[in-house]
Structure 1
Amino acid sequence: MPPVRIVSLEQVASILNGIDLEEILTSQGKAFHSYSINETQTPQRPTLQTPYHSTLIMPARIDSLTSVVKLVSVPKQDSNNGLPGVTIVLDNLTGEPRGLVNARLLTAIRTAASSALATRAVFQVKENKDESLTLVLFGSGAQAKAHIQLLTHVLPRIRNVLICNRTLPRAQELLAELQPQYQNLTMVAYSTSTGESTSPIPGISSSDQDKGKDKDQLLKQIVQSADVICTCTNSRAPLFPGEWVRPGTHINMVGSYTPEMHEVDQALMKRALILVDARQECEKEAGELIVAMKERGENGILAELGQIFDAHGQFDQTAMPTEFKTATAGASGKDVTMFKSVGIAAQDVAITALVLDQAEAQDLGTVAEI
């Protein structure tokens, strides 16, 4: 058997820090296209349950690329370190193991890439000419970090980033990590439980931010200020009332992945024109979409990402449903856009193969005989 390249967490981080983000986005666009034209394989994943975590075993293949088997453990308590896991990459011809790649950082980056692709597509067709955009995130873990990195890349007009988290210290940690890299952005951490923030919130008067101000009213103003909202939590209850979201806002929902989870309410779902990563999976796993179908007989899904990105991983504007061009007009009550992701295994194939290729090119990792 040929030697196997083992790529550690630190080496993956080094590769991601140096890689052109467009390479990640292109590889993910290709993966979604392959999925939508049925050129991927995703056998049902078995799950091992323990009192401390759920271990998922996820084989997957993109026919034109390679096959992988991903092992990931999902902690049953909150963690801001990403999901611990590894991915085995197989040689596409022989089926022998080619690499073993630490997956902790890759789940977050490939999920954020899907949001970035959807956001780029929506903003290319909608008539939003604002010179300065505000990004509001719920959550302060690895997903939130990756979303800030990818969304500020595809939307360089973002000038304000507001990180909303139940507790302020965790949001402060993320802020302290990212602020030096984004000197051109105004970044603020906000606690949804206490109403405290690390600094004045852009666009909200100082009197409204005075200590003792109704925290719900302050959160309402934060949500109303958003051009893009990203929900990166595992919440089972909506994070804010949908009526707070102003027309024309785009929402990326990536945290909920079971029927019991609901990051937004049905008032918002009713208003949304929706892109998804995978229609069948979202309709089975996403609590918000399941409830929408039960209550109204429709869930707002118009297209999968793979239907609007081509075989080269590029956005095909002609394939974008025309409804997205008039989202702010409120036709049929639909006045916001939304992307819902539950994650698909083809994404893991693409991001892991890309990282392993980079490791081989840079001679990173440990090559071992097994």
Structure 2
Amino acid sequence: MSGPRHVEAGAALAALTYPGLIDALRDAFAAGTVTAPLRGHYPMADGAGNTNIFLVMPAYDAGAYAGVKLVTVAPGNNARGLDSVIGLYVLFDAVTGAPLLTVDGSAITVRRTPAASALAARYLARPEAETLLVVGAGKLAPHVIDAYRAVLPRLRRVLVWNRTADKAAAVAARSGAEVAPDLAAAVAAADVVSAITMSKAPLIRGDWLRPGTHLDLIGGFTPEMREADDSAVTRASLFVDTREGALHEAGDLADPLKRGVIAAGDISADLADLVTGRHPGRRSAEEITLFKSVGTALEDLAAAAFLHRSGPA
């Protein structure tokens, strides 16, 4: 028996196209047949004064596919000239147990993460949204822009803000966007704000948000991380990728929840509720919506299965 084929990063990025991947995530959330336990989260000292994180993210869909993403987050890698997030995905046939595919884990992550936010935006952003602001200029930023362009037909202007202006300029040049010099002014001008930082102090203030804004918080994935302040959280209708993950792992919700600023019942819906129509999504043009994702292994499994079905790279 031949072994699983391996898909390198470049081939995986080329095959994981929008809007096809967004539709694949929609179908996976709608089916409700995937089991995706909370990720295993294991801190490890790197011997150089940093704490790395080892993440193990399994998921399975009985009768179809099973898979696991193995990821390391190594903050010290920036000084080593390496990516700070490195990983591998392994896809199995859930019937025979045979391994089908191994894929560069970072490629899976940088495509499926924006796909989940773009899927949410189909239901939560105003259809006439014209201006997108991306807060953060890391590896995900160009992919976020690509994903939003696939779901917002009237999008005509993209702004990029980053603490380091040169990094914002690099993303803007690559993606046909503009550098936003002032964060407050950019938030106030945007119809959709997508934050992809690892900030531990809120960057986005609720009093900057115009009525009708959709706020997408991607970056924070631990209880200590905050991208938006309490005012943004309390002004908005709250949506999540999964309740369990977002309420336990995402500081933007877990922190105000712990302090009594919000209650678990304030979460309007998750992605499964939105794609199945159990919740209608945005209810008015003036409503401020907030989508918080921390990522779920369901999304990785859906992306790997989509890649497998696309055939040899």
TM-score in terms of structure 1 length: 0.76
- CA positional deviation for 1:138: 0.6
Q: Look up the match of 2:173.
A: 176
Gaps of 5+ in 2: none
Alignment CA distance shift 1:10-1:219 (3 Å): closer
Q: Are 1:273 and 1:327, in contact at CA under 8 Å, matched by a contact in 2?
A: no
State the 1:161 CA deviation: 0.7
* Structure 2 equivalent of residue 273 of structure 1: 237
The secondary structure found in structure 2 opposite 1:105 is helix
The equivalent residue for 1:31 is 28
CA deviation string 1:104-146 (max 9, x = no partner): 12112111111111111124xx5x646xx11111111222211
Per-residue deviation, 1:238: 0.8
Query: Aligned runs of 1:77-96 on 2, under 5 Å?
Result: 77=76, 83-96=85-98
2: CA distance, partners of 1:220 / 1:304: 28
Larger radius of gyration: 1
Sort the Cα spacing of 1:229 and 1:171 in 2 relative to 1 into closer, same or farther, 3 A.
same
Q: CA deviation at 1:287?
A: 1.1
Pick closer, same or farther for the CA change 1:23–1:64 going to 2, 3 Å.
Answer: farther
| 1:47 alignment partner, one of 42, 46, 52 | 42
What residue number does 1:295 align with?
260
The CA deviation string for residues 208-239 of structure 1, in whole angstroms up to 9 with x for no partner, is xxxxxxxxxx4322111010000100100111
Counterpart amino acid of residue 159 in structure 2? L
**Which of 241, 244, 263 is the matching residue for 2:208?**
244
Mapping for residues 169-318 of structure 1, pairs under 5 Å: 169-179=166-176, 187-190=177-180, 195=181, 218-293=182-257, 294-298=259-263, 300-310=266-276, 316=277
Distance in 2 between the 1:250 and 1:23 partners? 23
TM-score by length of 2: 0.89
- How far is 1:266 from its partner? 0.2
Superposition misfits of 4+ residues, deviation over 3 angstroms: 77-82
Using a 3 Å threshold, how does the CA distance of structure 1 residues 297 and 160 change in structure 2: closer, same or farther?
A: closer
3-state SS of 2:304 partner: helix
1:81/1:327 CA distance change after superposition, 3 Å = farther
How high is the sequence identity, in percent, across the aligned residues?
Answer: 32
Contact 1:275/1:303 (CA < 8 Å) preserved in 2? yes
| Equivalent-residue separation in structure 1 for 2:156 and 2:148 (angstroms) | 11
Q: How many residues align?
A: 304
Q: 1:43 to 1:260 in 2, by over 3 A?
A: closer
SS at structure 2 position matched to 1:49? strand
Decide whether the 8 Å contact of 1:42 with 1:61 is kept in 2. no
Q: Match for residue 15 of structure 2? A: 15
- Match status 1:355 vs 2:307: yes
With over 3 angstroms needed to count, the CA separation of the structure-2 counterparts of 1:240 and 1:59, relative to structure 1, is closer
Distance of 1:226 and 1:152 partners within structure 2 = 15
Structure ranking higher on relative contact order (CA contacts 8 Å, 6+ apart): 1
